[in-house]
Amino acid sequence: MLSIKANQSGPGQDEWIGPAPWIETALPGPKAERVIAADERFSSTTYTRDFPLVVKRAYGSVIEDVDGNRFLDFTAGIAVCAAGHCHPKVVAAIQEQAARLIHICGCDFYYPVMAALLEKLSEIAPGKGDKSIFLTNSGTEAIEGAFKLARHHTGRKWAIAFHGAFHGRSMGALSLTCSKPVQRSQFGPLVPMTAHVDYGDADAIESTLFRYKMNPNEVAAIFVESFQGEGGYVIPPADFLPKLRALCDKHGILLVIDEIQSGMGRTGKWFACEHFNVEPDIMTVAKGIASGMPIGAIIARKEIATWGPSAHGSTFGGNPLACAAALATIELVENGFMENARIRGEQLRARLERITEKRRCLTAVRGLGMMNAIDVVHRGKSDAKLRGRILDECFKRGLLMLGCGTHSIRFCPPLCMNEAQVDTGLSILDEAVATVS
């Protein structure tokens, strides 16, 4: 069985909870089985639950279940735990804030930790000048608010998004989402005056939508992921975002860039759009901001945020605990983890290239920083079932990974992951593929 003991926590941390992977029981173990049985009696049928994993605790890049099994985490809660699980500086920031103030509505009152976070987000966001920032509880809420702001500021109604896009599951965000039929099925009618074209094809907006469906002066915003996430970890052509920027400037359309999964240092820069030298009018962020605390943000150019008091609001958005965790996370990302994401990402892709040379079912290595993917194929065709068997085999060996798109495997570990952990995880993947393919 593969295991490592070298600095399980990554840069900046000095504790760990044991070697990983470390599998002591059948999966799920007896304690996990009891929890799963109790959970499934009452939990909603919409939960997917990729693996029978019942988590007891986690630290850095290691997760331990209730039976003492330990897993190497290549998921980070779907790119959420940027600083790793329970980083001591993040934990301390939450504890200190909890002793001082747990909640007071940021829409009604002021508090220092919220003001400090707003200033920091304005500082790191692309583009010159101060930004206008609204804090939310999630990425979906950030998209909803950006949708409203775009319509409010422009006085226009149409919104354009892309095939494969995932922007959330509430009704406005779902209208922009175009990732899987099951996400939209039986929820219509959705918000009207939304349209989609193929991701990466900026020319299709003018050649198709503006020719057949709407005039450009009716379009409020184009919503786009600078690095498509749930749709399959798709990096667009180098000229895609610049073309969208030029198109928006030409027609007075707002460019809304969704950095919910790709932001906060994950790609080796604060935001993935910076790899393409494109500045958004509005940007949505969430996931990695606070290493697990629920918070998101709508970051807009100052002159765009023309909505007045009570045009939008949130009871819990910008909660003091989440703001404190965000400030601690941003400091850690800024002081080492973002650079570590760049270095470890290069290591991960280089090793994946070597693995795909000998494993014919793996192909199309791609990524930026610690946001990477490969495709699973059989005889040249996508194979979701084989992907599932590979992921299951990885889980049995103590490696947590998730799929994305129709047949891709994503690699989005905590940004604290170290060199030995990357190598260990990919060795497990290699063994798993050899077992099932």
Whether omega for the bond prior to residue 21 falls within 30 degrees of 0, making it cis, is yes
- Predicted local confidence at residue 18, as pLDDT: 86
Residues of the chain under the 50 pLDDT cut:
1-14
Three-state secondary structure string covering 115-152:
HHHHHHHHHHCCCCCCEEEEEECCHHHHHHHHHHHHHH
Say whether both 59 and 166 belong to one domain.
no
Host domain of residue 125: 89-332
Say what the pTM is: 0.94
**243 and 155 within one domain:** yes
The DSSP H or E segment spanning 67 is: none
49 and 125 in a single domain? The answer is: no
Q: Do 219 and 206 meet the contact criterion of CB atoms below 8 Å apart?
A: no
Residue 179 half-sphere exposure toward CB, CA atoms < 13 A:
23
How far apart are the C-alpha atoms of 66 and 70, rounded to whole Å? 9
List the structure tokens of 303.
């002159």
Looking at the structure, tell me whether residues 28 and 128 fall in a common domain: no
Number of domains present in the structure of the chain: 2
Domain co-membership, 113 together with 62:
no
pLDDT recorded at residue 19: 85
59, 85 contact by CB (below 8 A): yes
pLDDT, one tens digit per residue, over 417-429 is 999 999 999 999 9
> Using one digit for the tens of pLDDT, what is the confidence trace for 33-53?
999 999 999 999 999 999 999
Looking at 284, 309, 332, which one is the last position of a domain? 332
For residues 58 and 104, state if they share a domain. no
Q: What's the CA gap between 57 and 367, in Å, rounded?
A: 29
Residue 293 domain-assigned? yes
Which string of DSSP letters, residue by residue, matches 198-236?
ETT-THHIIIIIHHHT--GGGEEEEEEESSB-TTT-BPP
Q: Please report, to the nearest 10 degrees, the dihedral formed by the alpha carbons of residues 348, 353, 354, 359 taken in order.
A: 120
Same domain, 167 and 259: yes
CA nearest neighbour of 409 among 436, 427, 388: 388
Q: According to the model, what pLDDT value does residue 15 have? A: 60
Q: Which of 185, 138, 183, 188 is nearest to 295 (CA)?
A: 138
Looking at the structure, tell me whether residues 121 and 217 fall in a common domain.
Answer: yes
The strand pair at 371-378 and 381-382 is best described as antiparallel
CATH number of the domain within which 181 lies: 3.40.640.10
Among 317, 332, 347, give the residue marking a domain's end. 332
Query: Residues 36, 105: one domain?
Result: no
Residue 60 token pair: 């850095």
Helix (H, G, I), strand (E, B), or coil: what is residue 423? helix
Between CA 195 and CA 216, with CA 151 as vertex, the angle to 5 degrees is: 50
Same domain, 42 and 151: no
Are 260 and 216 part of one and the same domain?
yes
CATH number at residue 11: 3.90.1150.10
Q: How does pLDDT run across 335-385, given as a tens digit for each residue? A: 999 999 999 999 999 999 999 999 999 999 999 999 999 999 999 899 999
Query: Is 43 found in the same domain as 11?
Result: yes
